[in-house]
Amino acid sequence: MRGGRRRPARAFALVLAVGLTIAAAGLALCLGPAAIGPREVLEVLGGGGDGVARAVVLQERLPVVIAGLLVGAALGVAGVLLQALLRNDLAEPYLVGVGPGAYLGVTVAALLAGASALPTSLVRSLAALIGALAVSALVFSLARRGRGTGPTLLLVGVAIGSFVSAVATAALYVAVPDWHRVVYWLLGHLSPRPALDLLLLGGALLVTGAAAAIRGRELDAVALGEESAFFVGVDVRRLTFVFGLAASLLAALAVSISGLIGFVGLLVPHLARGLVGPSHRRLVPTAALLGGGLLVLADGVARSIHPPLQLPVGVVTAALGAPFLVVVLLRGRR
């Protein structure tokens, strides 16, 4: 399924991805329950506009779009890396301990903050990050004691993840009266974030992207199979460890910013593969672009679908993305 027959020319495909992402970001800037349309957005971006329009576009929508581009990109890249390393099309960024770890972290933060007060956003983000990194580090170190390759990592990740989720749910259920708020946060949402968070995520994204470009051939080989990778001289264990951790770090940073936004990390690698093929040198940047674009578009829809209520963005990513995924997969099989 990874080798679609009719595919646009590679260079053109990447340009197309850039164009789609920019279009999605522009559309997302114009979507929302406030009565601020394309004309007002252009005015504000051109330095004009009235106070309310400026506040809505510059303080609310633009920061969300920037955060969404970065989070979506991180989820897309993490998904590509994990699907290659685990050689499993169902792999997604939260699989190897990130999701359950973030859940545990947020729960512990809520417990520490006391029964009545909820943790502030900074504490919660930090707790999610620490939890996600700690649990995924545990998964990777345990997997390394075994064979240290894809299938072991997958199984250890699922096992540890289930265990951690169970502990977190029990703690949440027993000790946090406001547990529904924690769960709602975990459902995922985008909001304007401090520049530091975004810089961290952007930096991690750049480093991982560069590393993936340098080691692209090795990732291609691992994605084909452990044995073939071994015979072309790839240190599969080391590659799995390094890129697996990098993917987990990306996903953990994304979670700490936006909660658990589902489906993007699963869907985007398949979309990107359908567009540019299996080579990781092209796949990683394409997944970053498409991930960002999809997420900001989904968030725009989530904002405006039933105002003033805001839907969890994960609901919209799944609803928008699932049909695409099916189409891409069916076309690939033909």
Site residues for another protein per CB under 8 A:
32-36, 51-52, 55-56, 59-61, 63, 116-118, 120-122, 124, 177, 179, 181, 184-185, 189, 191-194, 303, 307-312
Nearer to another protein, 59 or 162 (CB): 59
Helices (H) and strands (E) in the chain, counts: 15, 0
CA pair distance 34, 163, nearest whole angstrom: 43
Nearer to another protein, 52 or 327 (CB): 52
Q: How far, rounded to the nearest angstrom, does the alpha carbon of residue 65 sit from its chain's CA centroid?
A: 14
Least spacing, CB of residue 100 vs another protein, in Å? 20
CA pair distance 329, 178, nearest whole angstrom: 41
CA pair distance 19, 28, nearest whole angstrom: 14
Least spacing, CB of residue 123 vs another protein, in Å? 10
300-322 CB burial, b ≥16 within 10 A, e <16: bbbbbeeeeebbbbbbbbbebbe
Least spacing, CB of residue 107 vs another protein, in Å? 15
Least spacing, CB of residue 116 vs another protein, in Å? 7
Least spacing, CB of residue 306 vs another protein, in Å? 9
CA pair distance 318, 309, nearest whole angstrom: 19
Least spacing, CB of residue 31 vs another protein, in Å? 10
Least spacing, CB of residue 175 vs another protein, in Å? 11
Nearer to another protein, 121 or 165 (CB): 121
Question: Residues 127, 132, 135, 138: is their CA dihedral positive or negative?
Answer: negative
Burial class (CB in 10 A: 0-12, 13-18, 19+), 237: middle
Nearer to another protein, 189 or 270 (CB): 189
Least spacing, CB of residue 106 vs another protein, in Å? 11
Q: Are 135 and 164 in contact (CB under 8 A)?
A: yes
Q: How far, rounded to the nearest angstrom, does the alpha carbon of residue 208 sit from its chain's CA centroid?
A: 14
CA pair distance 2, 224, nearest whole angstrom: 11
Nearer to another protein, 13 or 302 (CB): 302
Least spacing, CB of residue 60 vs another protein, in Å? 4
Q: What are the residues whose beta carbons fall under 8 Å from the beta carbon of 265, sequence distance 6 or more?
A: 75, 76, 78, 79, 82, 92, 93, 94, 251, 291
Nearer to another protein, 87 or 189 (CB): 189
Nearer to another protein, 110 or 246 (CB): 110
Nearer to another protein, 164 or 172 (CB): 172
Q: Which string of DSSP letters, residue by residue, matches 69-82?
A: HHHHHHHHHHHHHH
CA pair distance 325, 274, nearest whole angstrom: 9
Nearer to another protein, 22 or 52 (CB): 52
